[in-house]
Chain A
Amino acid sequence: MAKQYETVIGLEVHVELATKTKIFCGCSTAFGGAPNTHTCPVCTGMPGSLPVLNKKVVELAMAVGLATNCKIHQFCKFDRKNYFYPDNPQNYQISQLYLPICYEGGIEIETPAGKKIVGIHEIHMEEDAGKLIHDEWEDCSLVDYNRSGVPLIEIVSEPDMRSAEEVIAYLDKLRLIIQYLGASDCKLQEGSMRADVNLSVREAGAKEYGTRTEMKNLNSFKAIARAVEGERARQIELLEEGKKVIQETRRWDDNKESSYPMRSKEDAQDYRYFPDPDLVPVIISDEWLEEIRARQPELRTEKLLRYKKEFDIPDYDAGILTGSKRMADIFEETTALCGRPKKVSNWLMGETLRLLKEEGMEPEELSFSPENLAKLIRLTEDGTINQTVAKEVFEKIFREDIDPQAYVEEHGLKTVSDEDELRRVVEDVIAANPQSVSDYRGGKKKALGFLVGQTMKAMKGKADPGVVSRILTKLL
């Protein structure tokens, strides 16, 4: 019988914190500025410049730590991690090795086999590096330090995951917690959330861990899942052939669905960490910690229960609505404006999800305003427009965030309730469709549906089908 293997996975997740400024200087963290327009002597590592810690970074790191059940090092400090690379202008990265701000936490994930805790070894604060662009024509690289000094937290899990599904469940949960806290937008594509996968395999039942590799360059959940599967298969194949797994960092190429080594063991990193003498220790008082704890917003589990209780939203729907911070925000703000939670939920669960799927978008990318959805709901409630027209208008709101009231006015989409006008149209339809009329009179009730449809078409959808049906029945 073939040997059975177990996959052991731990993750290092980097998250860019949602601060206005960098961790050690007053430069903007805005994404997408022209190269080096958000730089100063501190974040370009000029000699003699002095870093000063952004208080918000400490508070956001604490908030994430508390929400992931971590303990907090109330005395913590920064260390220098030394390495040479042009994206790192100081030749050291300011990070935390000895006393990371958060430690010994964990979050619960759902797995096919039930609930499971994934341990969090530690969370530390550090600065991001700049970006290298490799010139295509000249033998040089161009460095943009706009990202240099952007605050990061690195969340280091315990090697508690055993499959790609568990990895995704953990990342999903972690992302949601951080988004709910407002600590980061966690966009994998833009790099505000990055995950490195540490993976090893061992024979089922073995006590010792196998040799692990670290996989980088994973910028979507799908890529992470594929990389886990790919690396597991690669390591098992090596072991089956009687070869050894080499401890190394590998880069995942999602197009080729394979990885290649970046650094081998020969130039194993020796970072020569030491305490940063430019930064003084951070002491977190009990009062400060309590203040952050008291300020923690409602997280998903609490929100889900509240939606069920307060708004009578079914379990499944509440799960989808709270599955994205953006979705939950739109739901609550729209409900506050129009007071119709069920209707709001229906628009989000129905048309919104349909359009998101059609566009291949994530709920976090939703950009329409609660005001416009609330107006649309009012327009349908008071009978100004019917459901068909509402769907058409909603699509406009979804894509361009138009004001539905103005749009309906402008395009003359109001439902026609003038019965005389409707009767004239119905008479035309009857005259134009003698076959259907005689079918109906001959007992084929289905023909009525066709005639209602023709009338709606002639009205360009701006009629109440119930009223049309009633008039038709009367005239026939």
Chain B
Amino acid sequence: MANIISDETMEYVGILAKLELSDEQKEQAKKDMARMLDYIDMLNELDTSGVEPMSHVFPVNNVFREDEVANGDEREKILKNAPAKKEGSFMVPKTVE
């Protein structure tokens, strides 16, 4: 493997993804990430000059909706997906910025 993921990078990625990993899982994830970067390096060996950058895998564009209300009040159905609810709202641990 040409790429090596440092412990600091691993720690940082964990914070960003809000994941708590065991030491063992961290080592495995470092290896996985290094392999991914190696693969990208391999792709970078290709000469892509003159190839237009791709923005989407499908050759489709301009998929629109008209601005018309299509949905009604489905609060009860939506709230069935809530782990906890109160007063018609999703209930979450107190989060204050």
Residue of B nearest to A262 (CB): B97
**Is there an interface contact between A272 and B16, defined as CB atoms closer than 8 Å?**
yes
Chain B window 16-43, contacts with chain A (Cβ cutoff 8 Å), 1 for yes, 0 for no: 1010000000000000000000000000
**Is there an interface contact between B78 and A135, defined as CB atoms closer than 8 Å?**
no
Residues of A within 8 Å of B93, CB to CB, are: 139-141
**Is there an interface contact between A283 and B16, defined as CB atoms closer than 8 Å?**
no
Residues of A within 8 Å of B91, CB to CB, are: 140-143
A342 on the B face (CB < 8 A):
no
**Is there an interface contact between A143 and B60, defined as CB atoms closer than 8 Å?**
no
B74 interface neighbour in A40, A52, A144, Cβ under 8 Å:
A40
Q: Which of A23-31, A175-183, A290-298, A418-426 contacts B (4 or more CB under 8 A)?
A: A23-31
**Is there an interface contact between B86 and A140, defined as CB atoms closer than 8 Å?**
yes
Assuming the contacts A77-B55, A142-B89, asked whether A52 and B75 have C-beta atoms less than 8 A apart, the reply is no
A52 interface neighbour in B58, B64, B68, B94, Cβ under 8 Å:
B64
A211 on the B face (CB < 8 A):
no
**Is there an interface contact between A28 and B94, defined as CB atoms closer than 8 Å?**
no
> Per DSSP, are chain B's interface residues mostly helix, strand or loop, or mixed?
loop
**Is there an interface contact between B67 and A44, defined as CB atoms closer than 8 Å?**
no
Assuming the contacts A19-B67, A52-B65, A283-B61, asked whether A277 and B96 have C-beta atoms less than 8 A apart, the reply is no
A103 on the B face (CB < 8 A):
no
**Is there an interface contact between B89 and A20, defined as CB atoms closer than 8 Å?**
no
Chain B window 47-74, contacts with chain A (Cβ cutoff 8 Å), 1 for yes, 0 for no: 0000000011110111111111111011
**Is there an interface contact between A20 and B67, defined as CB atoms closer than 8 Å?**
yes
**Is there an interface contact between A34 and B88, defined as CB atoms closer than 8 Å?**
yes
Residues of A within 8 Å of B6, CB to CB, are: none
Interface size on B, residues (CB 8 A): 37
**Is there an interface contact between B88 and A35, defined as CB atoms closer than 8 Å?**
yes
B71 interface neighbour in A26, A57, A270, Cβ under 8 Å:
A26
Residues of B within 8 Å of A84, CB to CB, are: 18
Expressed in whole angstroms, the minimum distance between the Cβ of A19 and any Cβ of chain B is 5
Residues of A within 8 Å of B2, CB to CB, are: none
A324 on the B face (CB < 8 A):
no
A113 on the B face (CB < 8 A):
no
Residue of A nearest to B86 (CB): A142
**Is there an interface contact between A140 and B63, defined as CB atoms closer than 8 Å?**
no
**Is there an interface contact between B94 and A280, defined as CB atoms closer than 8 Å?**
no
Assuming the contacts A36-B90, A139-B94, A281-B61, asked whether A26 and B68 have C-beta atoms less than 8 A apart, the reply is yes
A366 on the B face (CB < 8 A):
no
Nearest 5 A/B pairs, CB to CB: A26-B70, A142-B89, A55-B64, A56-B67, A143-B90
Footprint of B on A, CB under 8 Å? 19-21, 25-28, 34-41, 44, 46, 52-58, 75, 77, 82, 84-86, 132-135, 138-145, 251, 262-263, 270, 272, 275, 277, 279-283
Footprint of A on B, CB under 8 Å? 16, 18, 55-58, 60-71, 73-75, 78-79, 81, 84, 86-97
Besides A41-B78, A141-B96, A142-B86, 20 other A-B contacts (C-beta < 8 A): A19-B67, A25-B70, A26-B68, A28-B71, A34-B88, A35-B87, A36-B75, A36-B79, A36-B88, A40-B71, A46-B81, A75-B55, A84-B18, A86-B95, A142-B92, A263-B97, A277-B57, A281-B61, A282-B61, A283-B61
